[in-house]
């Protein structure tokens, strides 16, 4: 059990960072500064919300999200690691890995000179995580809350043998309505259509628009992309490094109803644009080396 008084004494920043008991039990960090506000759950090191000052939230959190220890939280920016999607050989292991459902610890918090706030967290290994993945690795996430939101997910191979990871920052973005957005920047890219069975490869013709369930892994792309939102009259820019895949997902009505934690018509107000290394683009991390997947989200008028 995390001792909140000790956590705030060590890592709280008066007027900027406070740690509190969240709904359902998981501890949440609340960040407020001159540029933005954000919340982050220590379970999974999951950014739950981010809103630039004076603007509506750019990161979406379901109103029906369940805050249950050991279960993923619907919305925010879940960390998928050390594999993406179902495990390649063991269907009994959790989809998207275990990083998003286990405890992380706060390593450092800092008030930066430009007014932004930085938090560094590390995944806590235990017998349960080691049973799911035998490799010696250290996983950390650095979160910078400011005019932009920056996330840097770093994997250090602390063992004597190379290993392969799949990963994603599975970010849910808040939008006016799924029917009124388009995603620019992935034109001409090849993607795996998971709605079509996962093995179907297609080529993107023009910006992405939505009229049905969409679940795609865009391959071999390091490009910046942007969510252009006609209803909210804004553009969310998504820049990344250390990532060769971009995943685009919206479950649409029928699947959303079966999921149970998206809320009534919640699927209309969100779209996932995930910076990833998945499918053809999994990453080999050599013994003693490290790999970092980093993103920066920026909101601007459309």
- Active site members: 170, 274
Half-sphere exposure of residue 297: CA atoms within 13 angstroms, side-chain side: 29
Question: What's the chain look like in SS3?
Answer: CCCHHHHHHHHCECCCEEEEECCCCCEEEEEECCCEEEEEECECCEEEEEEECCCCCCECECCCCCCCCCCCCCECECEEECCCCCCCCCCCCCCCECCCCCEEEEEEEEECCCCCEEEEEEECCCHHHHHHCCCCEEEEEEEEECCCEEEEEEEEECCCCCEEECEEECCEEECCCHHHEEEECCCCCEEEECCCCCCEEEECCCCECCCCCEEEEECCCCCCEEEEECCCCEEEEEEEECCCEEEEEECHHHHHHHHCCCCCCHHHHEEEEEEEECHHHCEEECCCCEEEEEEEEEEEEC
State residue 278 phi and psi, 5-degree precision: -140, 165
Task: List CB contacts of 133: < 8 A, sequence separation 6 or more.
Answer: 82, 97, 98
Q: Which residues contact 7 (CB under 8 A, 6 or more apart)?
A: 19, 27, 106
C-beta of residue 210 within 8 angstroms of C-beta of residue 96: no
* 80: number of Cβ within 10 Å: 26
């Amino acid at each position: 059990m995390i001792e909140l008084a000790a956590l705030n004494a060590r890592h709280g920043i008066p007027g900027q960072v406070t740690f509190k008991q969240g709904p359902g039990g998981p501890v949440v960090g609340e960040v407020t500064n001159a540029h933005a506000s954000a919340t982050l759950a220590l379970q999974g090191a999951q950014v739950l919300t981010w809103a630039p000052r004076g603007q509506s939230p750019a990161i979406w959190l379901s109103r029906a999200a369940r805050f249950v220890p050991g279960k993923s939280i619907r919305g925010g920016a879940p960390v998928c690691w050390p594999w993406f999607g179902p495990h390649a050989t063991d269907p009994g292991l959790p989809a998207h890995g275990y990083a998003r459902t286990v405890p992380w610890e706060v390593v450092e918090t800092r008030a930066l000179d430009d007014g932004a706030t930085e938090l560094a967290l590390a995944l806590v290994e235990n017998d349960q995580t080691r049973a799911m993945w035998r490799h010696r690795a250290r996983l950390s996430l650095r979160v910078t809350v400011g005019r932009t939101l920056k996330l840097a997910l770093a994997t250090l191979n602390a063992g004597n043998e190379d290993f392969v990871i799949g990963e994603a920052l599975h970010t849910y973005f808040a939008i006016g309505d799924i029917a009124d957005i388009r995603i620019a920047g992935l034109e001409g890219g090849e993607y795996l259509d998971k709605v079509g069975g996962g093995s179907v490869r297609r080529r993107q013709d023009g910006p992405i628009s939505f009229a049905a369930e969409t679940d795609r892994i865009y391959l071999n792309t390091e490009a910046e992309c942007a969510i252009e939102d006609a209803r909210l009259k804004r553009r969310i820019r998504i820049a990344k490094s250390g990532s060769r895949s971009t995943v685009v997902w919206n479950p649409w009505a029928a699947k959303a109803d079966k999921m149970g934690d998206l809320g009534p018509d919640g699927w209309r107000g969100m779209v996932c644009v995930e910076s990833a290394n998945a499918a053809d683009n999994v990453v080999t991390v050599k013994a003693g080396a490290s790999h970092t997947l980093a993103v920066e989200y920026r909101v601007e008028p459309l």
